[in-house]
Structures are given as C-alpha cells and as structure tokens.
C-alpha cells in the first residue's frame, strides 16, 4: 500500500523537531520526508557565542542524514527552488521535483539585508542570524579587540527578532571587559523598537526596566524608534523618528565593528504565491496552523505570518520564539494525525513564550502566556542563573536533535508541572 507523503520543508529549529514529532504521530499512516538546503542542523541560538569565540561552529552542529535515517524519515539536502501548491509539488534546486500529500513549511526567513544600503556581511555590518555569519563576525571581533573602536549593535526597521541583538550587545561588553579593552570601546544600541525591552511584544513583565538598567550599568547608550538610512564603511546613518513618523534627530554613528539584525521576509521558494503568503512572503495560517487557500499545507516558525503587536512609529515585527515554535509543531503533528484518521483538525498551539536571554555573565528570562498580549501570565526575571540555564538548554536541545527526539516524557512532565502547555485546552 502506498502511504501518503508528509513533506517538511526546512530542517532548522522547528523543521527538524517537526519531522521527529510528526513521524511519531503518524507512524504507519504516512511517510515523512525532509527537504533542506544542506545536511547539517545548526543551533542558531548559540550564534552570539560563536561571534565572540565562546563556541566553535562545529560544537553547535548536528549532521542530520544518519539521525534522520534511523527515524525512518526521508531526506534530501538539495533544497527547494519553488513550491507549486496547486500541483502538490516542490521543485528542487537541481531541477527535479518531489510530490507531497501534505506539506509542512518550516523554512525560516530570508534575510532582507538589501533593504538597507550597506547592511549585512556583504556590506559593512555583521550578523548572527546564521552560523557562518557568526563565524565571520568572530574574525571581525578579533580585529576590534586588537584595535579598539566604537561599536554599534541593534536591529533594523522591520526586524522581528530582538533578543539576539540584546544578547550580543551584552556578550560583547562582557568579552571586552575580560580582555581589558572595554574602556576604549564606546557602545551604542540602535533599535526600531519604541522603547528598550519592547522585543516586538510590547514588553514582557518588566523587560523595559530590566534591560534599561542592564544597559546603563554597562554604559551602553541607546537610540529607539530608529530607522537606519544607510551604512558606509565605518559610519552608520540613523534617523530617530517621532511618534508621528517625522524625523526627530539624525545620528551619524562611527563604528569599528557593528552587528545589526535585518528585517525578515519569506524565502524565494514561497514568496509571491497568491493565497499562500502575505505581501512580505510569510505563510498565511489559521488557528490550526493550516493555510486557508491550500488546506493540505501547514506552517510553523519564523515563516508564519503574524500581525505586529500594535502600531509603532518604525515597523517592528513579532518574534517567533523557540517554545512558541515547538507548540506549533505539536499542534501540526496532532492535526495531521486527526486528518489521516478522517477527522477535522481541532488542535491549537498555545503560542506560549519561554525565553532565556544570555548576557555572558547573567541574563534575563521571561515567560509570556500567550506570547501575544493580552496574557494570562506576564513574567520576567534576571540573574546569573540565566546564563547557566542557557548553556544547559543548548546541550539539552542538541541532545534531542542527535537522538531524534522531539519531547521526552520528562520534559512534558516538567512543563506541565510548571503550567506551561503547548496545546490549548478544548
């Protein structure tokens, strides 16, 4: 008997876990296949550590083919050129095609460096969005440490991932102090957020006060409501915007090292497909993570279209945090199991957020239930324990990837004991 094919597009933080969990949920009822560009999984949350040489890239890498094969999951590393949803087909980069019965899109984003002149590794700023970017940033950081100069770190207009920018600013501060050169490195944090600690979520708990206090204590100046107009070699042109969108002040910031997170958009394989994506190329999804126009397509993670949390003078996107993504994974796996049993999908992800922001010698943790306000729980805390917890989480998540496991029973028990659920009560 030929079984239906469930294709997972992407093998990042969400896609790899999704392949494992879906396989366990539909075993014997469907075949699961993963389409990815490259054979390796990279633990992206550790990229800020890579960029200051606290981690080597190989330490956060898992070679996927042997793990995937043990799970009985198909795999190709050719990568997707274009999704053809009307034909239930994915065109690969080598010109061949693969057919599917159900598609789970977990591609992550395309990095829109080109939307700001001079931004990105091909321009004049660094990135921690990809591990190879972070490895290159580490080389540039070594040059900074040898020849101290001003530093500019932050997130451009339209960005939807702010935690790593804060993390990296604090980590750079910590490492420069360890090398006894921090006193020769003025630091400025530039962000599209309307206030420090907004995070694209209108804050979580007391993140505004916590992060402002942390930055004051580390002598990091900041510019909010910032729009980066242009980046040149060693000089960033920034417009500070009023509430009505008019320019309040222009800043010309010299730098010897800069890391700016870009805006995200949908990847070329899905961008501009009517009914599947919004104008930015993000996948449209209902409360069951299913696309309204193509109900056999599901999506999870950064590629999902989520409206901004309120209006801001400078465009600010909504982050898709790790636990939020895992809750999408669990909902999709459960709904595919229902569909294969001849039932309608009923499961909804909670979109709860559990985040650890490491600052090198401390950090901030927050829990938002759900991630998008209004919330049932809105909590944040700080301390050295966050740094240790982030190290533990890195090791634990990489262990899950290497084992081919999505959610061990003890993880589920611990989360339930804390009242943190992946699926909504029905």
Q: What angle do CA 141, 144, 150 make, to 5 degrees?
A: 115
Structure-token pair, residue 99: 């057919």
Q: Which of 207, 208, 201, 163 is CA-nearest to residue 380?
A: 207
Inter-helix orientation angle 163-178/207-217, to 10° = 20
- Residues paired with residue 222 on neighbouring β-strands, in sequence order: 189
Cα-trace Rg, the chain = 21
Catalogue the active-site residues.
161, 355
Q: How far apart are CA 294 and CA 284, in angstroms?
A: 10
Residue 264, strand partner residues? 111
Residue with tokens 């998540």: 397
**Do the Cβ atoms of 235 and 261 come closer than 8 Å?**
no
Other CB atoms within 10 Å distance of the CB of residue 27: 13
């Amino acid at each position: 008997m030929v079984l239906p094919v469930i294709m997972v597009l992407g093998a990042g933080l969400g896609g790899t876990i999704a392949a494992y969990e879906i396989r366990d949920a539909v075993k014997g009822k469907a075949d699961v296949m993963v389409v990815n560009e490259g054979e390796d999984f990279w633990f992206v949350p550790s990229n800020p550590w890579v960029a200051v040489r606290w981690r080597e890239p190989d330490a956060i890498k898992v070679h996927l083919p042997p793990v995937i094969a043990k799970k009985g999951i198909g795999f190709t590393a050719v990568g997707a050129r274009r999704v053809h949803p009307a034909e239930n087909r994915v065109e690969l980069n080598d010109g061949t095609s693969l057919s599917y019965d159900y598609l789970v899109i977990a591609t992550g984003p395309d990095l829109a460096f080109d939307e700001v002149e001079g931004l990105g590794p091909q321009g004049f700023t660094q990135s921690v969005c990809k591990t190879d970017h972070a490895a290159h940033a580490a080389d540039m950081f070594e040059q900074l440490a040898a020849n101290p100069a001003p530093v500019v770190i932050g997130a451009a207009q339209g960005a939807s991932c702010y935690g790593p920018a804060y993390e990296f600013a604090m980590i750079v501060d910590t490492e420069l102090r360890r090398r006894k050169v921090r006193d020769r490195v003025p630091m400025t944090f530039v962000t599209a957020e309307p206030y420090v600690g907004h995070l694209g979520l209108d804050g979580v708990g007391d993140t505004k006060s916590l992060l402002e206090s942390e930055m004051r204590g580390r002598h990091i100046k900041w510019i909010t409501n910032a729009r980066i107009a242009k980046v040149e070699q060693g000089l960033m042109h920034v417009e500070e915007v009023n509430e009505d969108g008019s320019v309040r002040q222009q800043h010309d910031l010299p730098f010897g090292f800069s890391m700016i997170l870009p805006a995200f958009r949908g990847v070329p394989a899905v961008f501009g497909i009517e009914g599947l994506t919004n104008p930015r190329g993000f996948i449209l999804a209902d409360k069951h993570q299913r696309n309204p126009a193509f109900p056999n397509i599901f999506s999870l993670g950064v590629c999902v279209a989520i409206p901004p949390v309120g209006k801001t003078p400078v465009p600010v996107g909504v982050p898709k945090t790790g636990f939020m993504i895992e809750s999408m994974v669990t909902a999709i796996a459960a709904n595919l199991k229902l569909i294969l049993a001849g039932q309608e999908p009923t499961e909804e992800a909670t979109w709860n957020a559990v985040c650890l922001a490491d600052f090198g010698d401390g950090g901030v943790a927050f829990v938002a239930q759900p991630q998008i306000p209004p919330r049932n729980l809105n909590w944040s805390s700080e301390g050295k324990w966050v740094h240790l917890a982030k190290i533990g989480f890195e090791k634990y998540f990489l262990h899950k990837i290497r084992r081919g496991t999505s959610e061990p029973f003890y993880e589920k028990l611990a989360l339930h004991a804390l009242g943190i659920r992946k699926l909504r009560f029905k």
